[in-house]
Amino acid sequence: MYRAAGACSKAPVGAHNLRSNQNRRKKQGWRMTKHAMVIAGGGPTGMMLAAELALANVDVAIVERRPDHVLVGSRAGGFHSRTIEVLDQRGVADRFLAEGQVAQAAMIGSTVLDMSDFPTRHPYALGIWQNQIERIMAAWVAELPVRIYYGSEVMGFAQDDTGVDVELSDGQSMRAQYLVGCDGGRSVIRRAAGIEFPGWDATRSNLIAEVEVTEEPPRGIRHDATGVHGIHRLEDGRTERVIVTEQQLGPSSEPTLRDLSDALIAVYGTDFGIHSPTWISRFTDMTRQAAAYRAGRVLLAGDSAHVHYPAGGQGLSLGVQDAVNLGWKLAQVVNGTSPESLLDTYQEERHPVAARALQHTMAQGVLQRPDDRIKALVDMVSELALMDEPRKRLAGIISGLDIHYDLGAGHPLLGRRMADLDLATTAGPLRVFTLLHDAKPVLLDLGEPGGFDIAPWAGRVQLIDAEYVGPWELPVLGAVSAPTAVLIRPDGYVAWVGEGTDTGLRDALTTWFGTP
Ligand SMILES: Cc1cc2nc3c(=O)[nH]c(=O)nc-3n(C[C@H](O)[C@H](O)[C@H](O)COP(=O)(O)OP(=O)(O)OC[C@H]3O[C@@H](n4cnc5c(N)ncnc54)[C@H](O)[C@@H]3O)c2cc1C
């Protein structure tokens, strides 16, 4: 059994201890709980992954430290276009859109990158607090066969050739085929797995809090040479959400109201009479990425695999999309239709995406500290960012709409997200995303009906005959030639493109959805 050093025990505990504990418990009539999949952590990433697995009929459990799904504090302020799309692929985007506010929120420096001309049904970001996001996600997950163990903490694990024993804080264990650490930036799973977390140490820290005030503060964002500061009134009309950059890098201990007062006085000359805090937290610009996303039967997703300064608001989106990339692959491996090697594509595809986001947030972090010299850079970047080509490229990165998984050479659609096209079928009009609601792959035949025989994959892959007469346009890249067929993975990325023949289709079906 390996525990994260410094988390709950001081050093790794030998596997023999696990066996002797198990023998003792067996004698006491204790039984180990079994699930095909165990997810450590029920934040946005863990919940999204559980939903993906449940949709694929995998017996999945989440172990969550909190007593329920309620998140203290508002935390992240929303997510970007591709994340709205992946939720739309599962038919639940409307639940989030109904509670949030759409806005042009992709930014570089202080320049907004208007992406309203992007070819997507959702050419915007969604402003919605993370505690609302988690409440909506928890309600969705509750509709699915997902078991959640609230108030329980994963302390460590031991893996062997057939599965993982997961040690819980109450002294019990769980047995699973795979364990995924969705347990945030301080991941116990990552440390217990011995996965390195290289990157950059923190250079600055921000306090974030929800408080009441006795003096009216100047609301809005302010930038200075220390960094970014902001005060916003929350919907209750009473609470102020305050973010302030500290003059010096703060300690790792829990921040106090006094710390917040000092930081506010240093920036605004007053603390506005802050009182009655419901939440005070500290975050930094530490930027790190797990060297490996998988160690045998243990995988990482979300903040456990990458942390960065929240400039640009990409963290939650990255985690949700990690989950959507990993979920169907794990399901196919657990259900026995695909070999374990399919899991290697998770790191191959998602590691570069997060690495690029980390680079972007570091650049963005610098641009948010405008002393005179950096201000000169901000002005130059802003001028460039308003030009069409740079605007599209940057907005493509931030929105996640330009993601390109390297699936080899071929048509530009290959490895890119499938757009939510309006199709005509014999059964009537149909949106592409509707076909993905159950997280099942689709072969979309846009040529003469009956052109493909995928009988060996029947039951695994949906074959849909449809017509589409509109343009084919990709975000950032622009117009591309119309394909005659596309094979769409459950995560919405194109695995094969037909251009008049079925060349390569069998190989693609085998690679992604197993041998017949
Ligand atoms: C101030 C701030 C603003 C931000 N703004 C944005 C934004 O606008 N947009 C954006 O996309 N991102 C933003 N982020 C980042 C975003 O909050 C994170 O990227 C996101 O929460 C990551 O989700 P996660 O599920 O991977 O991890 P987490 O949200 O950290 O969830 C991890 C879960 O695991 C549980 N857990 C931890 N350890 C254990 C254990 N051992 N056993 C069981 N359970 C455990 C925790 O209780 C938690 O519920 C912001 C972050 C901060 C701090």
- pLDDT score, position 340: 97
Residue 60 confidence (pLDDT) above 70: yes
pLDDT bin (cut points 50, 70, 90) of residue 23 is low
Instruction: Please choose from 130, 132, 284 the residue to mutate so as to test ligand 1's pocket, defined by most ligand atoms within 8 A of CB.
Output: 130
Q: Please report which confidence band the pLDDT of residue 225 belongs to, taking 50, 70 and 90 as the band edges.
A: confident
pLDDT surpasses 80 at 256: yes
Label residue 31 by pLDDT band (50, 70, 90).
low
Q: Is 121 close to ligand 1, i.e. is its CB under 6 Å away?
A: no
User: What does the DSSP assignment read for 90-145?
Assistant: TT-HHHHHTTSEEE---EETTEE---TTSSSS--SEEE--HHHHHHHHHHHHHTSS
Distance 399 CA to ligand 1 centre (A): 19
CA distance 77 to 95: 16
Ligand 1 atom nearest to CA at 315: 19
Beta bridge partners of 178: 37
Q: Does the CA dihedral 364-370-371-373 come out positive or negative? A: positive
Which pLDDT does position 2 carry in this prediction? 52
Number of H helices, E strands in the chain: 13, 32
Q: How confident is the model at residue 370 (pLDDT cuts 50, 70, 90)?
A: confident
Separation of 440 CA from ligand 1 center, angstroms?
28
44 lines ligand 1 (CB under 6 A): yes
* CA distance readout (Å), 459 to 3, 99, 292, 446, 504: 41, 36, 33, 20, 20
The CA 302 to ligand 1 mean position distance, Å, reads 8
C-alpha of residue 282 to centroid of ligand 1, in Å: 13
CA of 303 to the centre of ligand 1 (A): 6
User: In this model, does residue 252 exceed pLDDT 70?
Assistant: yes
Q: Which pLDDT score, from 0 to 100, does residue 30 have?
A: 52
Give me the chain's average pLDDT, please: 93
Identify whether the C-beta of residue 67 lies closer than 8 Å to the C-beta of residue 151: yes
Residue 223 neighbours by CB under 8 Å, 6+ apart: 110, 229, 368, 369, 370
Q: Whose CA is nearest to atom 14 of ligand 1?
A: 76
How far away, in angstroms, is 279 Cα from ligand 1 center? 15
Whole-angstrom distance, CA of residue 224 vs CA of residue 228 = 7
CA of 46 to the centre of ligand 1 (A): 10
Name the strands in the sheet holding 442-445, side by side, starting at the edge strand that comes first in the sequence: 462-465, 442-445, 485-488, 494-498
The verdict on the CB of residue 312 being under 6 Å from ligand 1 is no
The per-residue pLDDT for range 326-359, each reduced to its tens digit, is: 999 999 999 999 999 999 999 999 999 999 999 9
Over residues 94-98, the mean pLDDT reads 98
* H/E segment holding residue 242: strand 240-245
Residue 17 clears pLDDT 70, i.e. is over it? no
pLDDT surpasses 80 at 506: yes
Whether 16 has a pLDDT exceeding 70, the answer reads no
Q: State if residue 78 touches ligand 1 by the CB under 6 angstroms criterion.
A: yes
Alpha carbons 300 and 342: distance in angstroms, whole number: 15
Global pTM reads 0.94
The answer, yes or no, to whether residue 10 has pLDDT greater than 60, is no
Spatial distance between the Cα atoms of 11 and 319, rounded to a whole number of angstroms: 29
Q: How far is the CA of 51 from the centre of ligand 1 (A)?
A: 17
2-16, 94-108, 449-463 — most confident range = 94-108
Q: What is the pLDDT of residue 18?
A: 47
Establish whether residue 40 lines the binding site of ligand 1, counting it when its CB lies within 6 angstroms of any ligand atom: yes
pLDDT recorded at residue 187 = 98
- Name the pLDDT band for 312 (thresholds 50, 70, 90): confident
SS3 assignment, position 361: helix
Q: How many angstroms is it from 43 CA to the middle of ligand 1?
A: 6
Band of residue 11 on the pLDDT scale cut at 50, 70, 90: very low
Our answer on whether the CB atom of 41 is closer than 6 Å to any ligand 1 atom is yes
pLDDT in tens, 213-222: 999 999 999 9
For residues 219-235, give the mean pLDDT.
92
Cite the DSSP H helix spans in 368-436: 372-385, 388-399, 432-435
| CB of 184 sitting under 6 A from ligand 1 | yes
**322 falls in which pLDDT band (50, 70, 90)?**
very high
Exposure class string for 199-223: b at 16+ Cβ within 10 A, else e: beebebbbbbbbbebeeebeeeeeb
Residue 475 CB less than 6 A away from ligand 1:
no
Pick the atom of ligand 1 nearest to 307's CA. Answer: 19
Lowest mean pLDDT segment, chosen from 31-35, 171-175, 190-194: 31-35
For 452-467, the pLDDT digits (tens) are 999 999 999 999 999 9
The rounded Å distance from CA 413 to ligand 1 centre is 32
DSSP string, 74-103: ----EE-HHHHHHHHHTT-HHHHHTTSEEE
- Stated length of the chain: 516
Q: Is 46 in the pocket of ligand 1 (CB under 6 A)?
A: yes
CB 402 within 8 A of CB 115: no
Pocket test for ligand 1, best of 126, 153, 179, 183 (most atoms within 8 A of CB): 183
Q: How far apart are CA 81 and CA 392, in angstroms?
A: 13
% of the chain surpassing 70 pLDDT: 94
Predicted local distance difference test score (pLDDT) of residue 197: 98
